[in-house]
Structure 1
């Protein structure tokens, strides 16, 4: 787990089938986005077939966090398929408003992300 001891932000890594899943919780802002970026880079180092960033437990997603997702998409290709799980006003809405869903594949839930 990556994150400060206060529980406001955390990233947990797990494996589901051939995918590495990063489950993110709390707030992703300019202070915590670098921790998310480091977790993604560490996961990509093992060149998984699929990397899923699950934002379903995120309460706030700032532009710094969205920037990390765009960078991750560029760094993942061509070896790893990146997918983002985001549903709701705190995550899906800002991602769609910024047009990031045209660059980074967005899914409603983990099962959908695994099934593509």
Structure 2
């Protein structure tokens, strides 16, 4: 369902995944809530591409604090997002990954290649 007219916030509903987009100063934040697995990562990839096209941010932040399931497909999605964002001349940061996201990223050995923080301006 789209945000209010003139709003910088929109949501993409999915039974397993909810994506919200908002502008926070010079940063665009995509809030990811629910499950990131093979069935849902295409929606995230589409939202990232659409957000880059629509808003052209210098920094795109994925807020992962509300992710409750995270599979290897989620790792692939984050690696693909990193490439997509960099190819557009922007910078990707991850915000406050949930415990499951942090654990799977650490086990997959990819936690060190992402800029991860909990500051809303990241």
TM-score normalised over the length of structure 2: 0.81
1:37 maps onto 2:49 in alignment: no
Structure 1 runs of 4+ aligned residues shifted over 4 Å read: none
TM-score normalised over the length of structure 1: 0.84
Q: Residue 16 of structure 1 aligns with which residue?
A: 24
What secondary structure, in the 3-state scheme, does the structure 2 residue paired with 1:11 have? strand
Inter-partner Cα distance in structure 2 for 1:86 and 1:97: 17
Contiguous gaps of at least 5 residues in structure 2: 1-10
Change (3 A) 1:100 1:75: same
Inter-partner Cα distance in structure 2 for 1:55 and 1:15: 16
Inter-partner Cα distance in structure 2 for 1:66 and 1:12: 20
Q: CA deviation at 1:66?
A: 1.3
Q: CA deviation at 1:110?
A: 3.8
Q: Is the 8 A contact 2:65 2:96 kept in 1?
A: yes
1:94 maps onto 2:104 in alignment: yes
Q: CA deviation at 1:104?
A: 2.0
Inter-partner Cα distance in structure 2 for 1:55 and 1:10: 11
Larger Cα-atom Rg: 2
Matched length: 110
